[in-house]
A = this chain, B = another copy of it.
Amino acid sequence: MNFNTHEKLHASETKCSDCAIRVASLFKSVSNGNLASAEELRKEQVRIPARTRIFQEGEMHDYIYTVYSGWGVIYKTVSNSGKRQILRFVLPGDLVGFQTNVSGVMAHSAGTVTESVLCSFPRAKIKPMLEKNSELALRLVDMKARDVSLCHNHLMAAGRKTAKESIAFILMELFYRVQYQVPNNDSKATNTIDFPITQEDIGDAIGLTNVHVNRVVKELMKEKLILCNKKKLTILNEKKLCEIAEFSSDMVVTHPLA
Contact = CB atoms under 8 A, between A and B. Distances in A.
A156 B76 contact: yes
Contacts of A149: 99, 107
Interface residues of A, number: 54
The oligomer's copy count stands at 2
B258 A100 contact: yes
Contacts of A205: 159
A103 to B, nearest CB: 8
A207 B160 contact: yes
A78 interface: yes
A257 B100 contact: yes
A138 B136 CA distance: 10
B134 A87 contact: no
Interface of A: 76, 78-81, 83-85, 87, 98-103, 107-108, 126-127, 130-131, 134, 137-138, 140-142, 144-149, 151-152, 154-156, 158-161, 165, 204-207, 246, 250-251, 255-258
